[in-house]
Amino acid sequence: MVTSASPATDSVAPAPVAPVATGLDGSPFESQSDRLSPNRNLAPLSARLDGLGRMEVGGCLLSDLARTYGTPLYVLDETTLRTTCRAYRQALAAHYPGEALALYASKANSSLAITALVASEGLGLDAVSAGELLTALQGGMPAERIVFHGNNKSAEELQLAIDRGVSVVLDNWNDIALLSDLAAERPGAVRVLVRFTPGIECHTHEYIRTGHLDSKFGFDPDQLEAVLRHLAGCPWARVDGLHAHIGSQIFELEPHRDLAAVMADALALARSLGHPCGDLNVGGGLGIRYVGSDDPPSIQEWVQVVGGAVAEACGQRQLVLPRLLCEPGRSLVATAGLTLYMLGSRKDIPGLRTYLSVDGGMSDNPRPITYQSQYTAVLADRPLAEATETVTVAGKHCESGDVLLHDVRLPQTTPGEVLAVFATGAYNAAMGSNYNRIPRPAAVLVHDGVAEVVQRREQPEDLLRYDVLPHRLLPVS
């Protein structure tokens, strides 16, 4: 697939620039909608080849970024992120006859820069911790466009949310008990949504299925009426909506139609008990393309199914249309991001495997060892070179399972070349760690030939900042 052009990006190139085939096989777009649905691409929309065949993103040469900012390096393409935000906003306007708002699921990648970009595009945000909530507020997201999730919220987190006027998603009875104490003396009611498990299974990794009955999230369906009746007698609570979520990295559309019917029944129940319930939050879950064989629906297709199903289900039950909320995370930010690594050692095991090691691994991308996730990678300065060998790309951590890419085809490589791994904008930085006391990478935002640091690289001495050495253990001089 070929990415769309950006005149500003093209003008930066020192020589004529060729678009990058995002399938990396020269295949054409399947439809015009793919240009507006970055989740169906492998590379960021602004990916280009310069006159020497080297890859640029956002008008910046990837190998130059690696030399300037070091590796591993997270690179975020502003064009792709903004295009995706607009795709959701425009699709909701086109395919849902009522009011609608897309909320960025910030657990995918939480930072001040991403928050500011998403807020400027008119989206809202969901947060699941005090850290994500503070990042959202400080990044300029209006409190009225934030919802606060979590299956084990602390009193301190809930206090922060209600003090800032953020809507709270009630996940369990403990949330209700804590809020009833915290909000008892406050003027006005706390805006809440009630989350329940709809009992819908999807074909995705068991760790990221959240809609089936055996889930830690939300009230069981048979508890919903009791919860809503209890809240009807709580003057501190204003039940503004309902929430359900069926999983992540989903390519199927039918489960979303099923979800609409279940949620419309719940909406009818809530309104019959006197709750205003103007919002219906269907969660997120739309998948993206990590490898060429992945075939996710486009954002337009996903919204058309969800919006149409909710409108139809409400019409069948003669319900006034609610405001439709959805929570894209991975599909909003993943394709906008890539990670750059420096190739290092090589180990050839005749007749078995060839290992290429990079200067990062499971601390900057834990998804392969956690979910057996697959990715697509190219050499930054030779992205379309003929692949001549099958290799396994390993990380540098002291862990046999620290493998980023299993049995991938690459050209013959040399140490010091830069490897670009696509679609790492979601759940890489967010799930990163300091395993083996390896500092976290820097992140840069690229646009119109300019790279800006949006997260500083940690230094080894930073990792000692919170260590405390008891006096009695001090070395004897």
Count other C-beta atoms under 10 Å from residue 436's C-beta. Answer: 14
Instruction: Determine the Cα–Cα distance for residues 169 and 241; give it in Å rounded to an integer.
Output: 9
Q: What are phi and psi of 256, to 5 degrees?
A: -70, -30
Residue with tokens 């004529």: 16
137 sits in which H/E element: helix 130-138
Give residue 266's identity as a one-letter amino acid code: A
Active site residues: 398
Give residue 258's identity as a one-letter amino acid code: D
Per-residue three-class SS string for 308-352: HHHHHHHHHCCCCCCEEEECCCHHHHCCCEEEEEEEEEEEEECCC
Q: Are 423 and 338 in contact (CB under 8 A)?
A: yes
DSSP label at 31? S
**Alpha-helix runs per DSSP H in 372-424:** none
Q: Are 392 and 353 in contact (CB under 8 A)?
A: yes
Give residue 123's identity as a one-letter amino acid code: L
Q: Classify strands 323-326 and 100-105 as parallel, antiparallel or unpaired.
A: parallel
Instruction: Determine the Cα–Cα distance for residues 430 and 154; give it in Å rounded to an integer.
Output: 21
Taking alpha carbons only, the member of 371, 258, 278 closest to residue 319 is 278
Instruction: Determine the Cα–Cα distance for residues 148 and 166; give it in Å rounded to an integer.
Output: 7
Q: What are phi and psi of 18, to 5 degrees?
A: -105, 135
The CB-side HSE value for 367 (13 A sphere, CA atoms) comes to 21
Taking alpha carbons only, the member of 469, 460, 466, 467 closest to residue 437 is 460
* Residue 7: cis peptide before it, omega within 30 degrees of 0: no
Instruction: Determine the Cα–Cα distance for residues 2 and 18; give it in Å rounded to an integer.
Output: 10
